[in-house]
């Protein structure tokens, strides 16, 4: 049986692989959609502005990603509150990627409906990020340019919003 996270990983590669190339926008990006029952997680591999790989990560208890981000912001030390043991010793801890994007389910729905662009959500502070500032700007620029390029994803706000909306739908 395919998990919601595996479905989301497949969608991320399908949508993100069609984004316009942007040299230097490369790294690992964890995308977490927070819902009332769990934090849904997928790790994306970005290469030059496109999603070239994705892997499903086990969900965390609802709110765990936000707690981990808050612990790191307060300087609680490496791994503190990051859920390193919660999902199993072999699973990547929250915050171990180059960039982590955390999105509430209602924001994910607003992005996929076209009410909010991912870059606007970031500027408003409703799309939370930790990690590389340069990578977040590159990723947001890539997904926004994918939405405005008139390509295969022109009907959706962006490939990222399509992914986030599917995460919200699968999460309930």
In a domain, 86, yes or no: no
Lowest mean pLDDT among 1-10, 12-21, 145-154, 161-170: 145-154
In a domain, 76, yes or no: no
Q: Which domain holds residue 35?
A: 4-65+99-171
In a domain, 151, yes or no: yes
Alpha carbons 93 and 89: distance in angstroms, whole number: 9
Is residue 164 within 8 Å of residue 139, measured between CB atoms?
no
In a domain, 26, yes or no: yes
In a domain, 129, yes or no: yes
Number of domains in the chain: 1
Alpha carbons 168 and 86: distance in angstroms, whole number: 22
Mean pLDDT for the stretch of residues 111-140: 89
Which CATH number do you get for residue 25?
3.30.1050.10
pTM beyond 0.75: the answer is no
Mean pLDDT for the stretch of residues 44-64: 86
In a domain, 105, yes or no: yes
């Amino acid at each position: 049986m395919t998990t919601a996270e595996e479905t989301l990983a497949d969608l991320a590669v399908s949508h993100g692989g069609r984004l316009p190339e942007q040299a230097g926008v490369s790294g690992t990006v964890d995308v977490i959609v927070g819902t009332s029952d769990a934090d849904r997680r997928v790790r994306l591999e970005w290469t030059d502005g496109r999603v070239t790989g994705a892997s499903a990560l086990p969900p965390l208890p609802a709110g765990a990603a936000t707690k981990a981000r808050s612990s790191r912001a307060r300087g609680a030390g490496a791994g503190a509150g990051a859920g390193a043991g919660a999902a199993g010793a072999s699973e990547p801890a929250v915050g171990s990627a180059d960039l982590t994007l955390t999105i509430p389910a209602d924001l994910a729905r607003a992005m996929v409906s076209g009410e909010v662009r991912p870059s606007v959500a970031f500027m408003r502070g409703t799309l939370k990020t930790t990690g590389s500032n340069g990578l977040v700007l590159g990723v947001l620029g890539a997904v926004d340019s994918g939405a405005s390029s008139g390509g295969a994803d022109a009907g959706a706000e962006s490939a990222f919003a399509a992914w986030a909306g599917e995460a919200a739908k699968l999460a309930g």
